[in-house]
Amino acid sequence: MIMLLEWINFIILLIVGIILGYLTYLVNFGTPLIDFDNLNNFIINGTWVILICLAFSFSKSHKNKEKDEWMKTLSLINQDLENKVKERTFQLEQALNIKTQILNNLSHEIRMPIHGANGISQILVDVWDKISDNDKYEYLKKIAKNNARLAKFVNNILDLSKITAGKMQFHYRDINLIDIMTDILEEVEELYLNNKKIEIYHDFKGFKSVLLSGDELRISQLLRNIFNNAVKFTKEGKITVKFEQDLINKLPAIKIIIQDEGIGIPLNEIDNIFEPFIQSSLTDNKAGGTGLGLAISKEIVEAHNGKIWAEHNKPNGAIFNILLPANEITLLNTNSNNLEKHTPQAISKILFIDDEQSSHDLFNLMIYKQSHLKVVHSLNGIEGIEALKNHKIDLILLDLMMPVMNGYEFLKIIRKNPEYAGIPVILQTGVNSTSPEILEIKTLFPDVQVIYKPYEHHILLESIHKTLENAQ
């Protein structure tokens, strides 16, 4: 159609050119066309007009082609922009859905344990005298479980904020992975199984010790996260933990393998499960959680120059591999008798300083079965100094924020006194790890351990036992 229009335009211009050529001839020469003497001039003038018309026609035709090409280009650009807008809109919708899902999960993880603990405790107050001691015990266990769930959620959120800000701190020292794993396994069997049909097998008896430089609390947190997931997503079956000697960057390393028979992880999701707030499609919205545990675990492993990855466990379940650099790995001599004689633990006296009476009550419950631990209670730093004068103290558990004399002032006084300067101190506080007070204490008193509230009681008990063992 376009070509036909162009030819019609050309013919019209050609006719116009002939007429204009003839008129030009008449103006110049005033004689009719039959005057053959002036025919050359007529032809020359007409030819110039025709050439101008042809040039105009071809120029217009060329411009039409350029216009068509520009229109096609603009159409392609417009289509590309529309596709990008659609793609970006889809991405924003996905991000909004993920954000909504995260907020829903966070809301669920806050509301449910509060609802469980608060509801049960209110009812217990009303029916306390009407139910058996066994029922009371079971209900109290449920309250404790909900409180532990909420505390874990809060700690994970705080840890994630530290990771995001690049302020997660690690305190490295020589630790024995065998001791940590033994404590974790006992804890899992006592607290996490909850009568599930799960058996735990471990294969690290061939190792006498596995020494590495690490943060004991963070390594315990790492292993606890992996075990907790294994138990949570395994209805029945077995969980196996193994140690293997390995290498990392051509240096000695220990490989920890934790294998379960749970619901597993889809192969196309394995690479993403260590990202914050990411949950497997098989677990999402079915067992609770926020998708933070594995992200924090990865951060802990990488801070120790290690590696962590997951695999599918055929026919069902998941395998988590943790590779950590090891300073020294000692194997057991299978021909020797490795039994150790049990010796009763020595009595240790702990000075507990805290202005909250509930903290004292909680600690008394913590050590209820720890017959080798005796406690002296003080409500502030002044009372604590008086207690040091009247008792031989082996360990001090100290709160930071207290009236009359706070923990920081108390520390400065006892560290200047040779009689008390050598007593180990564990600081337990709700103050953020990046606060000026904590940073100053860690600078002036690097030997002081810091445990952040809220914490699980076994973490404090582990620190107490380790500290007392090292002090002997």
Q: Which helix (H) or strand (E) holds 153?
A: helix 133-165
pLDDT band at 34 (very low <50, low <70, confident <90, very high): very low
Mean pLDDT of the chain: 78
Cβ neighbours around 444 below 10 Å, total = 12
Has residue 315 got a pLDDT over 90? no
- Long-range pairs of 100-106 with CB within 8 A, sequence gap ≥ 24: 102/277, 102/290, 105/277, 105/285, 105/288, 105/289, 105/290, 105/291, 106/290
CA 389, CA 73: separation in Å to the nearest integer?
A: 90
Has residue 67 got a pLDDT over 70? no
Terminal C-alpha separation, the chain: 102
Has residue 342 got a pLDDT over 50? no
Q: What structural domains does the chain harbor?
A: 1-168 (1.10.287.130), 173-331 (3.30.565.10), 348-471 (3.40.50.2300)
Has residue 287 got a pLDDT over 50? no
pLDDT value of position 338: 41
DSSP conformation class of 19: H
Has residue 404 got a pLDDT over 80? yes
Stretch 398-423: mean pLDDT, rounded? 91
Percent of the chain with pLDDT over 90: 21
* 70 vs 465: which has the higher pLDDT: 465
Stretch 9-21: mean pLDDT, rounded? 65
pLDDT band at 340 (very low <50, low <70, confident <90, very high): very low
At 19, the amino acid letter reads I
Task: Give per-residue pLDDT as tens, 244-256.
Answer: 999 998 899 999 9
* 55 vs 69: which has the higher pLDDT: 69
Q: 29-43, 162-176, 202-216: which range is least confident on average?
A: 29-43
pLDDT band at 161 (very low <50, low <70, confident <90, very high): confident
* 26 vs 392: which has the higher pLDDT: 392
Give the highest mean pLDDT range of 115-124, 265-274, 341-350, 352-361.
Answer: 352-361
To the nearest 10 degrees (0 to 180), the angle between helices 457-471 and 177-187 is 140
pLDDT value of position 410: 94
Q: Residues 209-229, buried b or exposed e (16+ Cβ, 10 A)?
A: ebbbebbbbbbbbbbbbbbbb
* 294 vs 282: which has the higher pLDDT: 294
Percent of the chain with pLDDT over 70: 75
pLDDT band at 285 (very low <50, low <70, confident <90, very high): very low
What lies within 8 Å, CB to CB, of 140 at 6+ separation is 124
